[in-house]
Chains A and B, each alone.
Chain A
Amino acid sequence: MTGTEGTMPVLRAQNLGIQFGGLKAVDSFNMEIGESELVGLIGPNGAGKTTVFNLITGVYKPTEGSFYLNGQSMNGKKTHQIVEAGIARTFQNIRLFKKMSVIDNVKAAMGAKLSYNLFHAVFRTPSYWKQEEELTKRAEELLQIVHLNGKEDYEAGNLPYGEQRRLEIARALATDMKLLLLDEPAAGMNPTETEELLEIINYIRDEFKISVLLIEHDMSLVMKICERISVLDFGTTIAAGTPEEIANHPKVIEAYLGKDDEEVEEDA
């Protein structure tokens, strides 16, 4: 299962599960992601993929199981603590700070790393100027990576759809994470935009040595870039393996396309 033998996995989820009332949205979810690995998480609508993301980022508290980042338990930690530890995400339905400028979106995510306090801010001490200047420089670099340079002063909400998705990635990068969770980053994009996104994902993975967990409906994209894939259906993992294994896995085909009539009769 592990990508890199012998080293500690970046993310390890052990029997992770959550129950909403009587509904088991996710049941004993297991996953290990190695360093610089790109893992896909697929499954039909409502399978619980986004719920897995919400569990890993602390939006929901798991009702069973636990997960570790670099061997450190993340159970019971708040979202911002988990982000500080190194897990950042994007959202399925884009959540930008719409009325703020593009560069401020990125800067806001870097705020936790600034150390100047109220006194420095009010009196505009040299340390304020220095930190703000470094911040601006770093934010501009990140925007360059997602090809948004030159649009720093635009209002984030006014960007075209594809650029908003890329800005979300830049904002996630700004938190200096080790594991990036991408929730359907190619949704609503045309083939050219998807291609550009693919390049960006590959670039940041190599450049920042981060691991990526990707939820995606675009099968060609998943098959093309993911090293391993897990398939969820009704909250349980029905298959895990390389793209080739998954593509021919009977349970996966069944989950996506349904059973053959003959099989149904045989079962009955």
Chain B
Amino acid sequence: MEKRFKVSYFLNFLGVLAVFFLFVLLFENNAFGRSTQYIKGISTTACYTIIMVASLNLVVGCMGEFSLGHAGFVSVGAYASAIVSNGLTGKGLPDIALFLVALLAGGIAAGLTGVLVGIPALRLRGDYLAIVTIAFAEIIRVLFCNLSITGGGKTMSGIIKLSNFYWSFWIMVVCITVMYMYVRSRFGRTVKAIREDYIAASASGINVTYYKVLTFTVAAFFAGIGGGVYAHYMTAMIPTNFNFMYSAELLSEVIIGGIGSITGSIIGASFLSSLPEMMRQFSQYRMLAYSVVLVLVMIFKPGGIFGAWEFSLIRVYERLTGRKGGWEKSRKKTEGGV
């Protein structure tokens, strides 16, 4: 059992490394000619969108609660990390250390906000919670429009450009790994039990409120880190960037990708965040295309394109080599699905 998992982790690491070197190869050899830089930029966008969408998937897929205010956490993370990196610039820190410290600050700020919002809000369920999260994101937006430290309603500019594709890629990998490990541990199991039936969960000795707030906080933390990468890539932002539409976009990416599937979040986010860039001339119709896709997905695949299915290299490996069952009993059902 343990051995199979360890082989699986190793294979996944090799897979990630292979993908990384593929990108390095493409970008360093200018495979796309003059648009290489441009595509590199889009890939960076995809990286931070993946972090945000996967973190929202913790709430929507794993916990089964609707959050329409994820942009609020993203903006808290973005501004907090930007403020920290502005303050620390010129203190002799190497760029990568500065970046990591700023991201961590963004994540912690967003996580703390998550605790503050989660404790009262998570007593509500379903539609009521959705409304409260919308309200929260709006409060954050209005607050940042009126604070001088965030540049008020004007653009906060001059954030140093620390995000590049290579760093963003590895930050994304680390974030996804941590979220995956969270879901595939007693924490994920507990939260899924709460999603399935909260009365039965509390009758099984589970402290429902605690685990809900914890998961909400973890999701907010990673949303904040995503926001930090965003801020240091864009180098300028206004609070209205993080409006309701942004939350809705993230949510639709979760739903289209697959509710409860991290694979789905990765594919959904990278595809949907780069699509409008690739079709620049139609970009104003983006939301229209989103809604059409969303309606089609809801009709034909209500659980999202990937459902709760996860891509697993070890399953591919086992199929190719016919080694299935060579390790101890494989727990397919236990492994599959967030």
Q: Which of A106-141 contact B (CB under 8 A)?
A: 107-109, 111-112, 114, 116, 118, 121-124, 128-129, 132-133, 136
Does B332 lie within 8 Å of A111, measured CB to CB? no
The residue of chain A having its C-beta at the shortest distance from the C-beta of B181 within the complex is A122
Which chain A residues border B187 with CB–CB below 8 Å? 118, 121
Which chain A residues border B331 with CB–CB below 8 Å? 101, 103, 152-153
The residue of chain A having its C-beta at the shortest distance from the C-beta of B214 within the complex is A118
Does A80 lie within 8 Å of B202, measured CB to CB? yes
Does A129 lie within 8 Å of B203, measured CB to CB? no
- Compute the total of residue contacts between A and B using a CB distance below 8 Å: 115
Q: Decide if B207 is an interface residue (CB 8 Å cutoff).
A: yes
Does A153 lie within 8 Å of B332, measured CB to CB? yes
The residue of chain B having its C-beta at the shortest distance from the C-beta of A131 within the complex is B186
Does A80 lie within 8 Å of B181, measured CB to CB? no
CB distance from A240 to the nearest CB of B (A): 26
The stretch that binds B, out of A44-52, A90-98, A210-218, is: A90-98
Does A100 lie within 8 Å of B196, measured CB to CB? yes
With contacts A83-B203, A121-B187, A154-B333 taken as known, whether A98 is within 8 angstroms of B2 at the C-beta atoms is no
Q: Decide if A259 is an interface residue (CB 8 Å cutoff).
A: no
With contacts A95-B199, A100-B192, A122-B181 taken as known, whether A109 is within 8 angstroms of B204 at the C-beta atoms is yes
* Contact bitstring B296-332, A, C-beta under 8 A = 1, else 0: 0000000000000000000000000000000000011
* Contact bitstring B171-199, A, C-beta under 8 A = 1, else 0: 00000011001100111011011001101
CA of A89 to CA of B181, assembled, Å: 31
CA of A124 to CA of B13, assembled, Å: 15
Which chain B residues border A155 with CB–CB below 8 Å? 333
Does B193 lie within 8 Å of A108, measured CB to CB? yes
Q: Decide if A88 is an interface residue (CB 8 Å cutoff).
A: yes
Which chain B residues border A79 with CB–CB below 8 Å? 202-203
Total count of chain A residues near the partner, CB < 8 A: 45
- B-side interface size class: 20 to 34
Does A108 lie within 8 Å of B206, measured CB to CB? yes
Q: Decide if A57 is an interface residue (CB 8 Å cutoff).
A: yes
CA of A121 to CA of B177, assembled, Å: 11
With contacts A104-B334, A122-B181, A124-B181 taken as known, whether A99 is within 8 angstroms of B196 at the C-beta atoms is yes
CA of A52 to CA of B34, assembled, Å: 75
Which chain A residues border B202 with CB–CB below 8 Å? 78-80, 83
Q: Decide if B1 is an interface residue (CB 8 Å cutoff).
A: yes
CA of A157 to CA of B291, assembled, Å: 33
Q: Which of B123-144 contact A (CB under 8 A)?
A: none
Does B205 lie within 8 Å of A109, measured CB to CB? yes
CB distance from A266 to the nearest CB of B (A): 47
Does B186 lie within 8 Å of A114, measured CB to CB? yes
Which chain A residues border B122 with CB–CB below 8 Å? none
Q: Decide if A174 is an interface residue (CB 8 Å cutoff).
A: yes
Q: Decide if A175 is an interface residue (CB 8 Å cutoff).
A: yes
Does A101 lie within 8 Å of B206, measured CB to CB? no
CA of A100 to CA of B335, assembled, Å: 11
Does A97 lie within 8 Å of B199, measured CB to CB? no
| Interface residue from B2, B9, B177, B206 paired with A111 (Cβ < 8 Å) | B206
Which chain A residues border B332 with CB–CB below 8 Å? 153
CA of A197 to CA of B36, assembled, Å: 68
Q: Decide if A171 is an interface residue (CB 8 Å cutoff).
A: yes
With contacts A104-B334, A118-B182, A118-B187 taken as known, whether A96 is within 8 angstroms of B206 at the C-beta atoms is no
Does B333 lie within 8 Å of A153, measured CB to CB? yes
With contacts A153-B333, A155-B333 taken as known, whether A97 is within 8 angstroms of B206 at the C-beta atoms is no
Q: Decide if A84 is an interface residue (CB 8 Å cutoff).
A: yes
* Sample of 9 more A-B contacts, CB < 8 Å, known A100-B193, A116-B186, A129-B2: A79-B202, A97-B192, A99-B337, A107-B186, A108-B189, A108-B204, A121-B187, A153-B332, A155-B333
A residues neighboring B (CB under 8 Å)? 57, 59, 78-80, 83-84, 88-89, 91, 95-101, 103-105, 107-109, 111-112, 114, 116, 118, 121-124, 128-129, 132-133, 136, 152-155, 171-172, 174-175
Of all A-B residue pairs in the complex, the 5 with the closest CB atoms, nearest first, are: A121-B185, A109-B204, A97-B196, A83-B205, A95-B200
What are 8 pairs between A and B in contact, CB < 8 Å? A78-B207, A96-B200, A97-B201, A108-B189, A108-B193, A111-B193, A128-B185, A132-B186
B residues neighboring A (CB under 8 Å)? 1-2, 5, 9, 177-178, 181-182, 185-187, 189-190, 192-193, 196-197, 199-208, 331-334, 337
